[in-house]
Amino acid sequence: MTKEYRLPEDVVAIHNGIKDMSIRGAGRIARYVAIALRKAAEGFGGQDVSEFLRYMDYVGAYLRGARPTAVSLPNAVSYVLSRLRRGHLASVDEGKRIAVSAADEFINYANNAVKVIGELGAKRLENGDVVMTHCHSTAAVSVITNAHRMGKVSKVYVKETRPALQGLITAKALADEGLDVTLIPDTAARYYMKKVDKVVVGADTVVANGAVVNKIGTSLLALIAREARVRVYVATETFKFSPYTLLGELVPIEVRDPREIVDEAWLKENHGVKVFNPVFDVTPPEYIDAIITEKGVIPPQASLLILIKEYGVELREFVDQLPPIKEEELRD
């Protein structure tokens, strides 16, 4: 596993794009990872099957390392690699075929999922609703635009979403669909919440107890909504549910460069000031009214259902790998 491989340029470009956030959003990251795996498979030179599998594992690990928080990334990798491993490959060409079709299948699935989420989510909105959203989520935008086409949404408040200002992307996307959009600073969310009926946001990762990891400020928005008795919906594909959390793993929250918040000159002048830039936060399940997935609308506490249905087999594989617990240890 320690062997280094030369990777196709496209694979490196996607890895770097995810890392520097020019490819962002958990859904898009997953789709690009599938593309990268396809390109990697196509670019493999040798004829040795086990060497091919080691190479694909290497690419998988390389892509996984691009960003720590979004589980869609390792899930997309697992989707493709698990199909490869189950394939009992006779040749490298067969392996390539399986990898390419698994990657395409995943991309199709992901694109279709956004559409289905939009349709299901739109049913949760009602005529005249004023909606507030945070950051940029393709799934959340799909819900809001679908509802708008049904004539339901009267207005959308979009939070700017510092530091990277993804709210501007959302504001433009919604305005292009003909929605009445008002962009507000993050600090003004509570000021406007009185006028809002529903909050719709996306997710980066959904964990086993139904807590949602999403862009920093989401949990604050959910708290503000709860105070005003405004419903909170999370729109997300099921490949953002994290099977690892079922095994007790915590989701690592990525902390990024201070220069996303203040510029170099400011940092120099204020070298005594630390700048803390966590990218995500965790919204507890009790602040979420429902999670809208392509497999249906569920209460967040039922996230286990998705994990068992989608990852049941693999989980058993994971659990089997854990060392057995000895009775003495339990008594300690």
Partner 1 sequence: MGDAICGRVSHKFSEFLSDLGGGVILGSTEAAVSALEIIKAASYECGSEFKDFLLRGIPSIVASRPSSQVLGNVLRMYVERFLATASEGGLRSAVEETPVMIDSLIRDLEGVREAVAEIGSRRIEDEDIILTHSYSSTVIKTFEKALARGVRFRVYTTESRPTGEGKVMANKVSSLGVETTLIVDSAVRYVMKHVRKVFVGADAIAINGAVVNKIGTSVVALAAKEARARLFVLAGLYKFSFETVFGELVEQVFLKNLESVVPKERFSELAGKVLVRAPVFDVTPPEYIDAIITEKGVLAPQAIPILVMELYGWPPRIKSLESLLEGVKRL
Q: Interface residues with partner 1 (CB under 8 A)?
A: 158, 160-163, 165, 168, 171-172, 175-176, 180-191, 215-217, 219-220, 223-224, 227, 261-262, 266, 269-270, 272-278, 281
Annotated catalytic residue: which of 104, 176, 204, 289?
Answer: 204
93 is catalytic: no
Within a 10 A sphere around the Cβ of 327, how many other Cβ atoms?
A: 6
**Closest distance to partner 1 from the beta carbon of 74 (Å):** 23
**Rounded Cα gap, residues 174 and 185, in angstroms:** 17
Residues 6+ apart with CB under 8 A from 314: 78, 82, 243
Q: Which is nearer to partner 1, 82 or 182 (CB)?
A: 182
How far is CA 171 from each of CA 155, 213, 251, 304, rounded to the nearest angstrom? 11, 22, 29, 33
CB of 35 to partner 1, least distance (A): 27
135 is catalytic: yes
Calpha distance 61→47 (Å, rounded): 22
**In whole angstroms, how close is the CB of 215 to partner 1 at the nearest point?**
8
Which CB sits closer to partner 1, 117 or 199? Answer: 199
Smallest distance, Å, CB 268 to partner 1?
12
Minimum CB distance to partner 1 smaller for 21 or for 223: 223
Catalytic residue among 135, 263, 289, 332: 135
Nearer to partner 1, 247 or 255 (CB): 255
Q: What is the CA radius of gyration of the chain?
A: 21
- Least spacing, CB of residue 222 vs partner 1, in Å: 9
21: left (phi over 0), alpha (psi -120 to 50) or beta: left
Angstrom distances, CA of residue 106 to CA of 37, 75, 101: 11, 10, 8
Residue 12 amino acid letter: V
Residue with smaller CB distance to partner 1, 13 or 220: 220
Q: Which residues are annotated as catalytic?
A: 135, 204
